[in-house]
Amino acid sequence: MHARSCPTNAEYIAQALSVEGGHLGIGRGGYTLHLARGSTLSGYDVEAMKAECIAAGLPVVDSRNLPFEVAWKLAVSGPMIAVGEPSSLPPYGPLSYAPLAVVAEAYRAAGADVHNLPQAGATEMAS
Measured between alpha carbons, how far is 80 from 123 in angstroms, rounded to an integer?
14
Measured between alpha carbons, how far is 47 from 77 in angstroms, rounded to an integer?
28
The whole-model pTM stands at 0.89
**Tell me, what's the pLDDT at 89?**
96
Q: What is the mean pLDDT of residues 15-22?
A: 98
Whether 44 has a pLDDT exceeding 70, the answer reads yes
Measured between alpha carbons, how far is 19 from 83 in angstroms, rounded to an integer?
7
Per-residue pLDDT tens digits for 92-107: 999 999 999 999 999 9
